Amino acid sequence: MKTRYSFGGDDHIFAEVDEEMSLEAFFRSLSVTKVVKESQIDGIVEVCPANASYQIKYNPDQIKPNDLLAELKSIESAMKNAESILQTRVVEVPVYYNDPWTHETLMRFRERHQDPDSTDLEYAARINGFDSIESFIEAHSGSPWFVTMVGFVAGLPFMFQMVDRERQIEVPKYLRPRTDTPKQTVGYGGCFACIYSVRGAGGYQMFGITPMPIFDPKQEISHLREFMVFFNPGDIVKFKPIDRAAYDEELEAVETGRFEPVIRELNFSLDEFQSGIDEYNKNIGEMLHGN
């Protein structure tokens, strides 16, 4: 992988780590931006990591574009042989798959879908070779996901599944975007999962909904009082399928201030992960509940 740099106007540098998404490209992007932040280079205004790229906003009155470019190339060169270790957190996200709210919404927009005669889950299961919705949900929730980017809409996480490339779930977006998506919908487009942080337009396939708020601009919800956005790039998410009774119970806990996400700290090693993906993922799942 060779990073491609380009200037955006007078105050941005865009770095494309790779043309296609991979955990290796994501790690390089995240690692470089982490060092950039820690280096406190004069003139840098904002650092924005993305799925397989990053963007730096800078003040040209404080640092010249070519000088900043040289700094970035120097940081990347110094990191080429560094071990890929990330101190992060594992978060369990409960999901009510095939819920009535996203189902009602998707049925209103079938004329915008590739398969108007099926639901989003049925379509996704079929084109990915699964024999049932249940087996598709098992695959979707069975392995953890890396949060590779937060944005587009405030607080919305994009997530990449931690499995071999041949096992990646891939589903196209709607032919035309919907004008409505329920808040906290678990969606899917391309190779990325997401959680819609607010109600609004959207084009991702809809698989379910979580009772767990991930964005609160008023910072009134118990686990969002310190910061309005819950997720950070580098977080690891493990989806937990729940039924209607569990959804209602957890929603009540949110509304009464008793809900607390299940979170564990983890020093993630990309090398160890790649040497035994399934075993590593199994350990991630077990650590959430102390098994």
Q: What is the pLDDT of residues 126-162, one digit of tens each?
A: 999 999 999 999 999 999 999 999 998 999 999 999 9
Q: Are residues 177 and 50 in the same domain?
A: no
Arithmetic mean of pLDDT, 9-20: 91
Range with the poorest average pLDDT among 77-86, 118-127, 163-172, 274-283: 77-86
- Picking from 82, 110, 135, the residue at the C-terminal end of a domain is 82
Asked if residue 104 and residue 219 are part of one domain, the reply reads yes
pLDDT tens figures, 63-87: 999 999 999 999 988 877 666 888 9
Domain boundary among 82, 103, 132: 82
- pLDDT of 1: 63
Q: Could you tell me how many residues make up the chain?
A: 291
What's the pLDDT score for residue 233?
93
C-beta of residue 1 within 8 angstroms of C-beta of residue 25:
yes
Looking at every residue in the chain, the average pLDDT score rounds to 94
- 109/111 Cα distance (integer angstroms): 5
Q: What is the CATH number of the domain that holds 153?
A: 2.40.100.10
Q: Which domain holds residue 156?
A: 87-287
pLDDT at 81: 64
Residues 217 and 113 in one domain: yes
- Inter-axis angle of helices 133-142 and 120-127, nearest 10: 80
* pLDDT of 253 strictly over 70: yes
**Inter-residue contact 197 to 215 (CB < 8 Å):** yes
The C-alpha atoms of residue 99 and residue 224 are separated, in whole angstroms, by 25
* Res 83: pLDDT: 62
pLDDT at 242: 98
